[in-house]
Structure 1
Amino acid sequence: MIDWLSNDILAFAIALVLAGIIIPQILLIAFRKKLFDDIDERKIHKGVVPRLGGIAFLPSILFSVAVIIGFNLKYGNPALWTEVALSTVPMYFMVCAVLLMFLVGMADDLIGVRYMAKFIVQIISALLIVASGMYIDDFYGFLWLNELYAWFGCLVTIFAVVYVVNAINLIDGIDGLASGLSTVALVFYAILFYISGEHVYSMLASAAAGTLLPFFYYNVFGNAKKQKKIFMGDTGALTTGMIMVFCAIAMLHIDSATFTHEFNPMVMALSPLIIPCFDVVRVYLHRVRRHRNPFLPDKCHIHHKLLALGLNQRTALIVIMIWAAAFIVVNVALSSEVNPTALIAFDVIVWTIANMLLTRGIRKREAKLNQHLFD
Structure 2
Amino acid sequence: MGYWSINSLIIFALCALLAGVLIPQILLIAYRRNLFDEVDERKIHKGLVPRLGGIAFVPVIIVSIAVLLEGNMKLGFSAFGDALSDCFLPLLSAFIALELLYLVGLADDLIGIKYRAKFVVQLICAIFLIGGGVWFSTLGGALGIEEVSPWFGYPFTVVVLVFLINAINLIDGIDGLASGLSSIACMIYGISFMFLGEYALAIVSFATLGVLVPFYYYNVFGDVTKHRKIFMGDTGSLTIGLILGVLGTLLYVHPSTELIGVHPSIIAFSPLIVPCFDVIRVYMLRIRQHRSPFLPDKSHIHHKLLAAGMKPRMAMVTIVSVSALFTLVNFFLAAYLNVNINIIVILDVVVWTGANCWLSSTIKRRQAEGKAA
Does TM, scored on the shorter chain, surpass 0.5?
yes
**C-alpha displacement of 1:2:** 7.6
Partner secondary structure for residue 61 of structure 2: helix
Deviations 1:123-163 (A, max 9, x none): 01001110001211011111221100012111111111100
Which residue does 2:120 correspond to in 1? 120
Which residue does 2:89 correspond to in 1? 89
CA distance in 2 between counterparts of 1:2 and 1:286 reads 49
Which residue does 1:357 correspond to in 2? 358
Number of aligned residues: 371
The question of whether the paired residues in 1 share the 8 Å contact of 2:258 and 2:264 is answered with no
Which residue does 1:192 correspond to in 2? 192
**C-alpha displacement of 1:87:** 1.4
Which residue does 1:272 correspond to in 2? 271
CA distance in 2 between counterparts of 1:352 and 1:199 reads 37
Partner secondary structure for residue 241 of structure 2: helix
CA distance in 1 between counterparts of 2:43 and 2:260 reads 46
Equivalent runs, 1:218-233 vs 2, <5 Å:
218-233=218-233
CA distance in 2 between counterparts of 1:216 and 1:110 reads 21
Letter in 1 for 2:199: H
Distance 1:2 1:329, change over 3 A: closer
Deviations 1:94-116 (A, max 9, x none): 10011111110000000111111
Question: Are 1:338 and 2:339 counterparts?
Answer: yes
Which residue does 2:305 correspond to in 1? 306
Which residue does 1:366 correspond to in 2? 367
CA distance in 1 between counterparts of 2:364 and 2:322 reads 22
Percent same amino acid among aligned pairs?
A: 48
> Relative to structure 2, which stretch is displaced further, 85-94 or 252-261?
252-261
Partner secondary structure for residue 231 of structure 2: coil
Question: Are 1:20 and 2:20 counterparts?
Answer: yes
**C-alpha displacement of 1:257:** 4.9
Which residue does 1:61 correspond to in 2? 61
Which residue does 2:99 correspond to in 1? 99
CA distance in 2 between counterparts of 1:111 and 1:118 reads 13
CA distance in 1 between counterparts of 2:155 and 2:236 reads 26
CA distance in 2 between counterparts of 1:294 and 1:128 reads 26
Which residue does 1:203 correspond to in 2? 203
Deviations 1:219-248 (A, max 9, x none): 111111211111000000011001000100
CA distance in 1 between counterparts of 2:255 and 2:195 reads 11
Deviations 1:284-313 (A, max 9, x none): 111122222222111010000000011001
**C-alpha displacement of 1:265:** 2.0
Q: Which runs of 5+ in 2 are unaligned?
A: none
Letter in 1 for 2:27: L
> Relative to structure 2, which stretch is displaced further, 217-226 or 248-257?
248-257
Partner secondary structure for residue 185 of structure 1: helix
CA distance in 1 between counterparts of 2:189 and 2:92 reads 19
CA distance in 1 between counterparts of 2:351 and 2:342 reads 14
TM-score (norm 1): 0.96
Which residue does 1:290 correspond to in 2? 289
Letter in 2 for 1:303: H
Q: Which runs of 5+ in 1 are unaligned?
A: none
**C-alpha displacement of 1:321:** 0.8
Deviations 1:60-97 (A, max 9, x none): 11111111122223322233343122111111111001
Letter in 2 for 1:300: S
Deviations 1:153-206 (A, max 9, x none): 111111111000000000000001000000000000000011111111001000
**C-alpha displacement of 1:259:** 3.2
CA distance in 1 between counterparts of 2:31 and 2:315 reads 29
Partner secondary structure for residue 335 of structure 1: helix
Partner secondary structure for residue 358 of structure 1: helix
CA distance in 1 between counterparts of 2:138 and 2:50 reads 42
The question of whether the paired residues in 1 share the 8 Å contact of 2:8 and 2:206 is answered with yes
The question of whether the paired residues in 1 share the 8 Å contact of 2:252 and 2:269 is answered with no
CA distance in 1 between counterparts of 2:25 and 2:321 reads 32
The question of whether the paired residues in 2 share the 8 Å contact of 1:15 and 1:64 is answered with yes
The question of whether the paired residues in 2 share the 8 Å contact of 1:84 and 1:200 is answered with yes
The question of whether the paired residues in 2 share the 8 Å contact of 1:2 and 1:72 is answered with no
Partner secondary structure for residue 87 of structure 2: helix
The question of whether the paired residues in 1 share the 8 Å contact of 2:257 and 2:263 is answered with no
Partner secondary structure for residue 296 of structure 1: coil
CA distance in 1 between counterparts of 2:238 and 2:256 reads 29
The question of whether the paired residues in 1 share the 8 Å contact of 2:69 and 2:81 is answered with no
The question of whether the paired residues in 1 share the 8 Å contact of 2:26 and 2:52 is answered with yes
Which residue does 2:170 correspond to in 1? 170
Which residue does 2:319 correspond to in 1? 320
**C-alpha displacement of 1:252:** 2.4
The question of whether the paired residues in 2 share the 8 Å contact of 1:179 and 1:216 is answered with yes
CA distance in 2 between counterparts of 1:335 and 1:73 reads 40
Letter in 2 for 1:329: L
The question of whether the paired residues in 1 share the 8 Å contact of 2:30 and 2:50 is answered with yes
Question: Are 1:150 and 2:127 counterparts?
Answer: no
Letter in 2 for 1:371: A
Partner secondary structure for residue 200 of structure 2: helix
CA distance in 1 between counterparts of 2:355 and 2:154 reads 34
CA distance in 1 between counterparts of 2:2 and 2:360 reads 52
